[in-house]
A and B are shown apart, each in its own frame.
Chain A
Amino acid sequence: MTPMIDVVFQLISFFMFSLKVVSPEGDFDIRMPLGKSASTVVDDQQVPPVRVKLSASPDGGLAGITMNGNPVADFNELQKKLVSLVGNARGPDSLADKTEVEFDCDYALKYANVVRAITAVSGTVQDGQIVELIKKIKFTPPKGGG
């Protein structure tokens, strides 16, 4: 009996030490084909893209946000402005579905701020459910080394 229990304890110790506790991860899916031919003609003609510029301070922190040239205080305000621009309708033919947000980020800006921006633009969490806002997101090409 004793050797069996010994082996069992060895097994448990092995599993205990090799267990890795990982936090849940989710994705923001973005389709970004190279070249302008990717987006359909309908997009560009009907709805102009919303340009969000994120400027960086020298240490990579967020210095400022502008939306279509107008300064925005924080990401909450960015989301509110988007909602007022796009309206409350959701679904395949709504303005929210057709609007595209283009992010222009400084090279040295810390990536976490970009994820916060994408979060603000993509939707909200209401009562545990995700309510989607903008689905089309793209980035302007990177501008040289930092």
Chain B
Amino acid sequence: MAKRSSEASSTDIDMTPMIDMTFQLITFFMFVMNFSEAEQDDRVQLPMSQLAKPIDGPVEKPITLQLTSDGSVIYAGEMVGLRDVGGYLDREKSVLMEAGKEPKAATVIVRADGRAKTGEVQEVIKICQEKGFEKFALRAQYDEGR
């Protein structure tokens, strides 16, 4: 079909190392991938703290509630109103009860924006307390600082 250039053979590149590199890259990305983005929403900018070192293992029985700077609550990736949080917590509570656990065994992870009003954070915590949740984890961004 096309005219064969006579210099073709001398410019042959050995593709093997390139493909090896590509496979290395893929493997790296596969292990680094983290698909649980819903619980780390970009709309919430956590306050920084030098003491907020990441813990070794996952939190047992976590329920994540996120609070934006303007006071809306994000639950499971969706923006909900403060009044609806109680309903979602009831659902979580019934799931826990069916698994034979009390709400006080669950940890509510509070990811509140640093610019949010403290009173609003306290109100969210109060709603959780009224549903029977006792353990709270206030999440902050680790500040490597200094």
Q: Residues of A with Cβ closer than 8 Å to B?
A: 1, 4-5, 8-9, 11-12, 15-16, 18-20, 22-34, 38, 54, 56, 60, 105-116, 118-119, 122-123, 125, 130, 139, 141-146
Contact = CB atoms under 8 A, between A and B. Distances in A.
B52 A142 contact: no
B111 to A, nearest CB: 8
> Interface majority SS on B: helix, strand, loop or mixed?
mixed
A26 B30 CA distance: 24
A8 B135 contact: no
Given A22-B34, A119-B51, 18 more contacts: A8-B22, A8-B23, A19-B33, A22-B40, A26-B51, A26-B53, A27-B109, A28-B137, A30-B136, A31-B134, A32-B136, A113-B118, A115-B48, A115-B49, A142-B122, A143-B119, A144-B119, A146-B120
Interface of B: 15, 18-19, 22-23, 25-26, 29-30, 32-34, 37, 40, 46-55, 59, 67, 104, 107, 109, 111-123, 125-126, 129-130, 134-142
Contact of A108 (B32, B55, B119): B119
Given A26-B51, A119-B49, A5 B15 contact: yes
A113 B121 CA distance: 13
Contact of B25 (A12, A56, A145): A12
A30 B138 contact: yes
Contacts of A18: 33
Contact of A110 (B53, B104, B114, B126): B114
